[in-house]
Amino acid sequence: MGQMLKLTAADGFTFDAYRADPSGTPNGAIVVVQEIFGVNSHIRDVADGYAAAGYVAIAPGIFDRAEPGIELDYNQAGIDAGLKARAAIPIEGTLADLQAAVDAVGSAGKVGIVGYCWGGSLAFLAAAKVTGLSAAVGYYGGQIVQFLDSAPKIPTLLHFGKQDQGIPLTDVDKIRARYPEIPVHLYDAGHGFNCDQRASYDKASAELALQRTLDFFGRHHG
């Protein structure tokens, strides 16, 4: 459904992005922010899903600053390589890449952002730091507590799994206490419950979270 294209960030860095377009007039656009596994087949599938829901979807290759074209598998080797790539990239560069993605789809209407895992944390940060966005949704962002001083400037929605081994519920409590206006949903699932390529995939939780996400974008963004 989609195509790869080149984007250029404000600092001149050029990187790949995957773009999927809806069949009819778009309801707006959504930036899809990857996990630590790159813009792999799953993230492309997610972007295709948002396109099928009526949005122009774009998934920027934010790992390109470490190494172009990284696509990792959901195993320990993939996790190790993903964490290494993430650590090699300054957050300023990542935010510049997200800004370029927002700017690239602005002609479609309002632009939202949704992210998963690392991307969930970045979606929260983008809600404070990236311009041109109308709504943000974060799935199981483990670094959100580190970004709590960056207050979202747009409507934001967060999803977490109760059995997430990497994100203690005390972290979720800190987010809720700091930003009581942000809807925070908990699911009977673990980390990565949205990804049907992971052992932690939970179909019921993924479907409920997606419906809530689409409703949220529809209210604040459509």
Pairing status of strand 156-161 against strand 133-139: parallel
Active site residue 97: no
Q: 188, 162 in Cβ contact below 8 A?
A: yes
To the query of whether residue 117 is one of the catalytic residues in this protein, the response is: yes
Q: Which of 42, 64, 97, 117 is catalytic?
A: 117
CA distance 18 to 2: 7
Could you tell me if 91 and 9 are in contact, meaning their C-beta atoms sit under 8 angstroms apart? no
Q: CB–CB of 70/81 below 8 Å?
A: yes
Contact predicate 113/101, CB 8 Å:
no
| 220 classed as catalytic | no
Residue bearing tokens 């930036």: 31
Out of 64, 97, 164, 171, pick the active-site residue.
Answer: 164
User: CB of 151 within 8 A of CB of 69?
Assistant: no
Residue 187 forms beta bridges with which residues? Answer: 161
Asked if 50 contacts 26 with a C-beta cutoff of 8 angstroms, the reply is no
Choice among 159, 191, 195, 221 that is catalytic: 191
Query: Is residue 104 classed as helix, strand or coil in its secondary structure?
Result: helix
Which residues are known catalytic residues? 117, 164, 191
